[in-house]
Amino acid sequence: MAERWGLRLRFALFFAGLAAGGVALLVAGLWVGHARYGGPVEGYVIAGLIAGFGMIGLAAWVAHLFDENVARPILGLASDLETRARADVGAQIDTAPARYLGALAPAATAIHDALAQARNAQAQVIAQETERLGRDKALLAALLRDLSDAAVVLTPDLRIMLYNRMAQNLLGPVGLDRPITGFLRAAPLRDAIGRLTARGATGTGHAEPFMTATGDGGRFLLGRVSAVDAGDARVGHVVILHDATDDLAAHAERDHLFNTLLEQLRRPAAAISALVEVLADDALPADARSGFEAAMREALAQLNTRLRDGADAYGAIAARHWPMSEVAVQDVFATVAARAPGLVTTTPSDGFLRCDGFGIGALLARIVSGMAEGGKRHDIHLSAEPRGTELWLTLTWQGPDVTDGALDEWARQDIANAYGHYTGRDVLEGHRTEIWVEQGEADPRLVLPLAQARAPDLAPQDSRPEFYDFDLPGPSDGGALADTPLRALPFVVFDTETTGLSPRNGDEIVQIAGLRVVNGRILHGEAFDMLVNPGRAIPPASTKVHGITDAMVADAPDIATAGRAFHDYCDGAILVAHNAPFDIAFLRLKEAQIGRDFRQPYLCTVLLSAALFDHTGNHTLDALAQRFGIEIPATLRHTALGDATATAEVFLKMLDVMEGAGIVTLGDAMAASERMGHIRRAQDY
């Protein structure tokens, strides 16, 4: 048992023994003195009590000074050295508390400096050796990020270990190590993988097609899945997804339009056929012939009207499938200038269009080339003019007028070999627009109206998702969660801001933020951050702490909506928070309203700190950040996302220290937390 005693307890027992020995010697001396020289016993007793209590007090005082100036600083230095041995902490050791320990504090600083130098040297070697691998990964990430189709790479148990931006746009808030089953209907995918495996066994394995839907059933997806094998082992699957919702809808609309048009044309066509036969009779009286001719004209008018309506409906369907995107006006101008070199000047524009930029540019280049043919027209100038929700692209020139016939002839030419037999007229119909000659008091000009688009948000401070991690832990072997190594678990480190500190007395959440930690990485690009309407006023004292006002949450979702979104975000993860019982209490009290339960295991960094650093009573987030050399910007402190980020960084450092202390599994961490009973009782919310 003595081996488990701490340093401070050993020193306390030493001084207690010293005091007890001194008192015993004092009593023995007084007894010998009385036995040899006699005298009143009371005097010896009084002298013994005074001396004994004085000796005990002196020992206690010296023990206290020793504890404050020797034992605690020694434990602090030992803890700091242990922390730096296990975790990469760059902050210098605070040697002020160890000022009475002579050369021990400078020696600890020297060890820290030597360790830092060794780590820096090792980091340089590793950086040099992995530079090529880093370039390869960057190229892979860029390639997959900007594919036009959604790409997802899955582990054998269908967890995401790579995704690109299109997958994020199509499937929603996907994340590394999250099951793909939360974002699409997985049964068709599993069937396709089964077929792929069966065909692979015969040596004919190729990409297997399948059709599925997003998790909410709102979009239909066409997919292909192929296997990733390393030797004889299946290490994952590559899934390529295409949003077929609009394609299927357009196909259905075209079929419906075709059938409807046939039905609508059949009757007037039959009527015209019958009328033609009647009018072919030369014996038909003149007044009857006149009536039949009027009926034929009416039937022809109906036929033309239905054909025109059908053409318009088909054009509307086809327009949705023209390759539209947000295009800078300057890019369109550059296309025209490149395809009609030296023939046109432009006025710079910062506008954006919703169009097929190449198609529009190629059409305008055809028209410019036609206008300049033979040198008849010159000083051709292209500009953009905002008109409500549209931008009008205008062409002006010097020279003869442009006739409608010439304009139509240029528009009917093929726009580019890459587009096959698509003509400028097809481009115009695809964009549901027209180009015309506008005559006015000023010189004539050509006008092409197009839909105006909002400039894309290119804010550099936006975080970029971590698109891949090929080193995810393998699938669970079905063992108890408590026996799972901490390194193999996904975590959500979160924080809440509230109207006050009493969840059971009406205080409410006003903000929830969280970060996923997977495979030792904080996934900043997959952060969850949501304001919550508390349904009550936020006290000014609380606003002073976190900066959230009633106006900021007026249009925010309520706790039911925000809670469900956060619950989905935490699916399959262990929760982590600083003073976690406080945040968990707020969520669990709202479970009925949210319709989800928050009963998954959680860890508290306060309790873990108390278990790891029992020589100090300071376990605040600021103290932990200082211990690990983590800087918390003042502007982010006491914001949900800022505190969650700081807690996540602290937790990653603590994982290294916990392993050194023998806290390896989730069960170990929870048991260590449970031993901090005096702190747990203070966390009863």
Ordered alpha helix ranges (H), 340-445: 357-372, 404-411, 424-430
In angstroms, rounded to a whole number, what is the distance separating the alpha carbons of residues 329 and 527? 34
Contacts of 105 (CB under 8 A, 6+ apart): 73, 77, 93, 95, 98, 99
Tokens encoding 179? 């099951």
In angstroms, rounded to a whole number, what is the distance separating the alpha carbons of residues 409 and 425? 10
Tokens encoding 656? 């290294």
638 is catalytic: yes
Secondary structure, 3-state, 613-629: CCCCCCCCHHHHHHHCC
Beta bridge partners, 384, equal 393
Q: First-to-last CA distance in the chain? A: 36
Q: Give the alpha-carbon dihedral of 136, 140, 146, 152, to 10 degrees.
A: -160
Sign of the dihedral through C-alpha 101, 105, 106, 107: positive
In angstroms, rounded to a whole number, what is the distance separating the alpha carbons of residues 70 and 12? 12
Q: Please give the order of strands across the beta sheet that includes 160-163.
A: 160-163, 150-154, 233-243, 220-230, 208-213
Beta bridge partners, 225, equal 208, 239
Ordered alpha helix ranges (H), 477-597: 540-546, 550-553, 559-569, 580-588, 591-594
Q: What angle do the packed helices 640-660 and 605-612 form, to 10 degrees?
A: 30
Of the candidates 34, 112, 638, 678, the residue annotated as catalytic is 638
Other Cβ atoms closer than 10 A to 329: 26
Q: What angle do the packed helices 41-66 and 7-37 form, to 10 degrees?
A: 160
Q: What angle do the packed helices 357-372 and 329-339 form, to 10 degrees?
A: 40
Beta bridge partners, 326, equal 354
Radius of gyration of the chain (CA): 40
Active site residues: 638
